[in-house]
Amino acid sequence: MLERLNQAMEHIEARLDQRIDVADLARTAVTSEYHFRRLFSALAGMPLSEYIRRRRLTVAGAEVLAGERTLLEVAVRYGYSSGEAFARAFRGMHGVGPGEARRDGATLRSQPRMSFRLIVEGSSSMQYRVVDRDEFRVVGRKARVPLVHEGMNPAIAEFIRGIGQETLGRIESLSDQEPQGIVSVSDGLDPSRAEGTELDYWHGVVSRAEAPDDMDVLTVPAGAWAVFESEGPFPQTLQYLWRDVFTQWFPSNPYQSRPGPEILRTRLSDDGTRADAELWIPVERTAA
């Protein structure tokens, strides 16, 4: 898997001055476009689109300083429809406009080329199981919230506080399937998975029961799920669990993620400093 990912990275480098089709990158990595985007963002710490943008502006910066092409020629070569659009993007990354950089020989920022390698730490093992589930439903309350990669998500915290204890109790009483109890469900994420993009967040339970009129319902199609377990400090355990699934488990196992919601069941310690977590990720086996 890592060798194929590095081949995809070479594909990006060879086409920085051309249109880059993510479907081509996914084929190079022998995986789905959906899984490739998710795997890349987990491994690289940034969305694929942001990496490509920063690499293009890095190479464009060198051409601006070299002075062999006009600024408009550089802009068009790297996919910008106008000099103004290029200047805005250039200033956003380098902190200085291209004209000023060329005139004054400014110091520019650089996005290094990325390659991936496996580091075997051997300090811990990941507990998981793969289960097949028929179609099921999540019953609870839903909100549209921004994506936050690290730390507490203020929008989700405020949403949960607004549900109220009485309603939370009614929701929890409907739980009758795995994962048991209140779950957090993320669905409808932007393909870029960029910080600040929006997703549908559900606070509810997995249930066969008839949903009350004041509850939202998410129907989840049948399929396979990889279920991961972890325990440790809160909220780092939850965020590191998701990261480790994509940076360690997927590259080492014959599965890829498929479209569908992510389901997280969390039990906090009495003082709220530790969490026992169970993460459900929709998966499918990769071709042999």
Beta carbons of 223 and 133 less than 8 angstroms apart: yes
Handedness of CA 59, 193, 236, 221 (dihedral sign): negative
pLDDT above 70: percentage of residues in the chain: 95
Q: Which domains does the chain have, with CATH numbers?
A: 2-104 (1.10.10.60), 127-285 (3.20.80.10)
What confidence score (pLDDT) does residue 288 get? Answer: 56
Q: What are phi and psi of 14, to 5 degrees?
A: -75, -10
Express the helix, strand and coil content of the chain in percent, nearest 5 each: 40, 25, 35
Q: What is the mean pLDDT of the chain?
A: 88
Q: What are phi and psi of 105, to 5 degrees?
A: 65, 45
Q: Whole-structure pTM over 0.85, yes or no?
A: no
What confidence score (pLDDT) does residue 121 get? Answer: 47
Residue 120: pLDDT band (50, 70, 90) is very low
Residue 149: pLDDT band (50, 70, 90) is confident
Least confident of 12-16, 165-169, 264-268: 264-268
- The C-alpha atoms of residue 149 and residue 195 are separated, in whole angstroms, by 6
Could you report the per-residue pLDDT of 21-45, keeping only the tens digit for each? 999 999 998 888 988 988 888 788 7
- The C-alpha atoms of residue 82 and residue 14 are separated, in whole angstroms, by 23
- The C-alpha atoms of residue 86 and residue 274 are separated, in whole angstroms, by 47
What confidence score (pLDDT) does residue 118 get? Answer: 58
Torsion of CA 191, 197, 202, 208, to 10 degrees: -10
Q: How many CB atoms lie within 10 A of CB 85?
A: 12
210: tokens are: 């008839």
